Structure 1
Amino acid sequence: MTHRPRVMIIAGEASGDMHGARLVRSMIRRQPETVFFGIGGHEMEKAGVRILFDAARLSVVGITEAFAKLGTLLKGISTAKRALREKQPDLLILIDFPDFNLHIAGTAKKLNVPVLYYISPQIWAWRSNRVKKIKKRVDHMAVIFPFEQSFYEAYDVPVTFVGHPLMDAKVKVPSCEEGGVNIPSQTTIALLPGSRHKEVAMHLPVMIESAKLLKKRNPYLRFIISCAASVDVTSLNEIVGRYADTLQFEIVGSGIEKVLQRSTMAIAVSGTVTLQAAIGLVPMVIIYKVSPFSYFLGKRLIKVEHIGLINMIGSRRIVPELVQDDASPVNISGHVHQLLNESGRIENMRRNIAAARDKLGGPGASDRVADIAMKFLNTEKAHVT
């Protein structure tokens, strides 16, 4: 009879799926016999997780979009609760996706399943009262921003700053010293429209219209569109075909790192992709649009000075942010054109991005979270098969 620890893991979005896959691989290196199951996507499945519910079905953008997918969200919750009861894992690992995951954490607590939460809800931005729920339901927080550690410590929540998992990506992290940044010989603009279908549908058209205005000003510009693995390339091509007219775009789906390495700068949707660009020291303009109702509510509920993560980390406006009506083709193209034509400004932006990026910690976030998880597994009774 062998002891085979069972770990349930839940990641509800494409970025969480990627981080979850790295964590699972790190845990398997430490304890190869561990059994993984839960909610995630293709990356976690490739890493060895038995997927009980496809995370792509749960992905939503904005408040009104969440209502539209309520039935699917409830099915996902039901699947997760049933797995907790029937499979009785030794550890539940939750990755981001706060409303869904905190609900599941409550069920885990009732079943005496320890909970490790990796990538904190942004309670420092809005709904900070959720920290009380976290304190009751979560055994340990593994946070990815340094300011989150002090936040949780103030509430006596067990917490470890593990660094940002994007620093684990298998790409050379450039320095800002001379020769450290790869600047393409031809000016290339990356369009990074996000990793969710609704997000792409909302942002790619305005990005394409911006590109058309930029092309009129500079006919030598090139444009690359990054297509995330979670996005249907056929749908993306339809959007390009509808808006591009005669303008040519290269669509790349083989990994955003390759896109960034070829890019002079980027137009990026607010979110994880902006940190990926920052790690590569790619100057950018950040944009974000949601439905009018979601924006109306968000303006009243969300209390942050910046929406761009690199600006939050740096505690100042390092890169431009254009939100909702301000994210117009004229405004976006104007910011990009100005940056491209002021070399001193774009180099200063790179230096400021580098300074903020250094606060993310070095590589090894997945390994540090795996070490925390192993402590739980080694102190809890494993299942016998």
Structure 2
Amino acid sequence: MSIPQYTVLFSAGESSGDQHAAHMFQDMQKLCPEIRGMGMGGAKMRQAGIDIRFDSSGIGVIGLVEVLKHYAEIRQALQLMKAILANEKPDLLVCVDYKEFNLKLAQFAKKQGVKVLFYVSPQVWAWRPGRVKTYGKAIDMMAVIFPFETAYYEAENVPVRYVGHPSVDKVHPLRGKQEDFALFGLEPGRPVVGLLPGSRANEIKRMLPAMLEAAGELARSHPDVQFVLPQADSVSDEILQSHLQGFDVAINVVKHQAYDVIQCCDAIMTTSGTASLEIALLQVPMVIAYRLSPLTYWLGKQLVKIPFIGLPNIIAGKAIVKELIQDAVTAENLAAEIERLLYAASYRETVINELRRVKRLLGEGGGSKNMADLALEMLRQG
């Protein structure tokens, strides 16, 4: 009996989506070695064996102004992905995050008779809950990564499955802390502060200058502090060095080993997003900072109905980690919070205990394997 060869089209527009899709495809291959993957993504998906038809590293932008700047490229990507759906008729479309783009793609796939599995729900609990119905019409299954999200889809009779958060499995350092200290040239006994300015070029541009200025302030008031920056795979050396050149405080830049870098840190300045959740899983105290263009921020303020932007705070249901947004992102504010996290013992302990609770709330993991099982289940249903 011949084994059917399934073809899956993946659509991931951001660095985190690229990783999620790559892990999912690797787990699918273990269960079904003859499966083929193709689509839009980045380096991680390519390494996993997915045939990348459009490199999405240049279109992983956030906010209205940023999207408008990259509109031509985003439109080109959408046209190409639609052409693949129409001409090559894959057995399944897996949309990973990148909400608005992937909604348009899912709607087109539905018209082409291609099944759609959407991985990572839009944050309907934060804004525009009416989108549940819109997505429900365009997809065959919504895979959610937070346990509280299923209720929103069940209420509208949209097929939904809680698969677990992919970061729970992924966030594990490769080595012990002592080994990492030696490898990264860090001195034991001296505080280590991490700088995580984001995985997109526009985030680096907005966030890194304030973080570097804060590092400068901390270095002057606490000369024993060491600084380390894990360089995201999607960030070029040129972009990073354009900010670091001429900066007179030593910043130890480490590539491809984010979790090992994070575990070495005593406190971290980070942008909002998946990174804040990964830091929480490793239970390192942090300050979350974020800046958007003024117009994007204003629009967000009108639409978003929750009091937090940081995932640790959203999951905890309260402010367990300090958030600095827009004009509050200053070197002074960043430095003051890092100082508190390093040297105010009871405050530090409270933050760490709350981060432990967030980790417990996220459960045991298995997200990529659960996604692989779900995708193959949909494929075998024919």
Q: Aligned equivalents of 1:172 and 1:253: distance in 2? A: 14
Aligned to 2:289: 287
Aligned to 2:183: none
Q: Which amino acid aligns with 2:123?
A: Q
SS for the counterpart of 2:245 is: helix
Consecutive unaligned residues in structure 2, runs of 5 or more? 175-186
Q: Aligned equivalents of 1:120 and 1:15: distance in 2? A: 14
- Per-residue CA deviation, residues 224-258 of structure 1 (Å, 9 max, x unaligned), is 1121000002210111115x2x2111001122101
Among candidates 367, 377, 380, match of residue 379 of structure 2: 377
Matches within 5 A, 1:189-200: 189-200=193-204
Q: Tell me, yes or no, if the aligned pair for 1:11 and 1:94 is still in contact at 8 Å.
A: yes
Q: Which amino acid aligns with 1:263?
A: C
**TM-score (norm: length of structure 1):** 0.93
Alpha-carbon distance, 1:61 to partner? 2.4
- Per-residue CA deviation, residues 54-102 of structure 1 (Å, 9 max, x unaligned), is 1112111221111111101100100110000111011111110000000
Matches within 5 A, 1:143-158: 143-158=144-159
- Per-residue CA deviation, residues 198-225 of structure 1 (Å, 9 max, x unaligned), is 1111101100001111111101001011
Aligned to 2:184: none
1:12 pairs with 2:13: yes
Among candidates 200, 204, 210, match of residue 214 of structure 2: 210
Alpha-carbon distance, 1:124 to partner? 1.6
SS for the counterpart of 2:276 is: helix
Q: Which amino acid aligns with 2:225?
A: L
Q: Aligned equivalents of 2:71 and 2:188: distance in 1? A: 45
Q: Aligned equivalents of 1:361 and 1:3: distance in 2? A: 35
Q: Tell me, yes or no, if the aligned pair for 1:310 and 1:357 is still in contact at 8 Å.
A: no
Q: Which amino acid aligns with 1:120?
A: S
Alpha-carbon distance, 1:130 to partner? 1.4
Q: Which amino acid aligns with 2:17?
A: G
Matches within 5 A, 1:222-261: 222-242=226-246, 244=247, 246-261=248-263
Aligned to 1:113: 114
Q: Aligned equivalents of 1:96 and 1:191: distance in 2? A: 25
- Per-residue CA deviation, residues 2-32 of structure 1 (Å, 9 max, x unaligned), is 5211100111100110111000000000101
Root-mean-square deviation (CA, aligned residues, Å) is 1.5
Alpha-carbon distance, 1:299 to partner? 1.2
Q: Aligned equivalents of 1:230 and 1:131: distance in 2? A: 31
Q: Which amino acid aligns with 2:22?
A: A
Count of residue pairs brought into register by the alignment? 369
Alpha-carbon distance, 1:170 to partner? 5.9
Q: Tell me, yes or no, if the aligned pair for 1:64 and 1:291 is still in contact at 8 Å.
A: yes
Consecutive unaligned residues in structure 1, runs of 5 or more? 174-182, 381-385
Q: Tell me, yes or no, if the aligned pair for 2:287 and 2:323 is still in contact at 8 Å.
A: yes
Aligned to 1:300: 302
Deviates more, 1:246-255 or 1:26-35: 246-255
Higher relative contact order (CA 8 A, sep 6+): 1
Aligned to 2:182: none
Q: Tell me, yes or no, if the aligned pair for 1:184 and 1:263 is still in contact at 8 Å.
A: no
Matches within 5 A, 1:131-146: 131-146=132-147
Aligned to 2:181: none
Identity of aligned residues (%): 37
Alpha-carbon distance, 1:184 to partner? 5.9
Q: Tell me, yes or no, if the aligned pair for 1:184 and 1:264 is still in contact at 8 Å.
A: no
Aligned to 1:176: none
Q: Aligned equivalents of 2:127 and 2:109: distance in 1? A: 25
Q: Aligned equivalents of 1:358 and 1:154: distance in 2? A: 26
Q: Aligned equivalents of 2:170 and 2:189: distance in 1? A: 25
Alpha-carbon distance, 1:172 to partner? 6.1
Q: Aligned equivalents of 1:212 and 1:270: distance in 2? A: 22
Q: Tell me, yes or no, if the aligned pair for 1:91 and 1:377 is still in contact at 8 Å.
A: yes
- Per-residue CA deviation, residues 326-374 of structure 1 (Å, 9 max, x unaligned), is 1111111111112211111111111101101211121311011111111
Q: Aligned equivalents of 1:370 and 1:80: distance in 2? A: 22
Q: Aligned equivalents of 1:170 and 1:62: distance in 2? A: 27
SS for the counterpart of 1:104 is: helix
1:358 pairs with 2:372: no
